[in-house]
Amino acid sequence: MVVLGACAVWALVTAAVHDGRPEGVLLAVLALAAGYAAGRICGALLPVAAPCAGAVAGLTLTVTLPRLAPGPEIVAPLGHAGATAAVLTLSAGAACCAAWATPVPLLRLALWLLAGGSAIAGALLGSTTALATCCAVLLCSLAAGRMRHRGPALAALAVAAALVTGLTWAVAAKALPAGLTDALTDQLTQRRVDLWHDALGMARREAGLGVGPGRFGELSPTAAEASLSDGKPHSAPLQLAAEQGVVGVLLLAAVFCWVLFALWRAPRPTPVVLTAGAALTALAAVAAIGNALSFTTVSVGAGLLAGLATARPLAEEPPATPETRPGFERDRHRGDLHPGDRPAA
What are the two backbone dihedrals, phi and then psi, of residue 63, each rounded to the nearest 5 degrees? -75, -40
Q: Report the C-alpha gap between 180 and 186 in whole angstroms.
A: 10
Per-residue pLDDT at 152: 94
Report cis status (omega within 30 of 0) of the bond before 77. yes
- Angle among Cα 165, 294, 154 to the nearest 5 degrees reads 40
- Which pLDDT does position 337 carry in this prediction? 52
**Per-residue model confidence (pLDDT) at position 222:** 85
Residues (pLDDT < 50) of the chain are 69-79, 322-336, 342-345
Q: Between the CA atoms of 191, 196, 197 and 203, what dihedral angle is there, to the nearest 10 degrees?
A: 150
Of 311, 161, 140, nearest in space to 249 by CA: 161
Q: Residue 126's pLDDT is what?
A: 84
Q: What is the pLDDT of residue 77?
A: 43
- CA distances (Å), 339 to each of 195, 264, 276, 316, 336, in order? 46, 11, 17, 11, 9
b/e for 277-293, b at 16 or more Cβ within 10 A? bbbbbbbbbbbbbbbbb
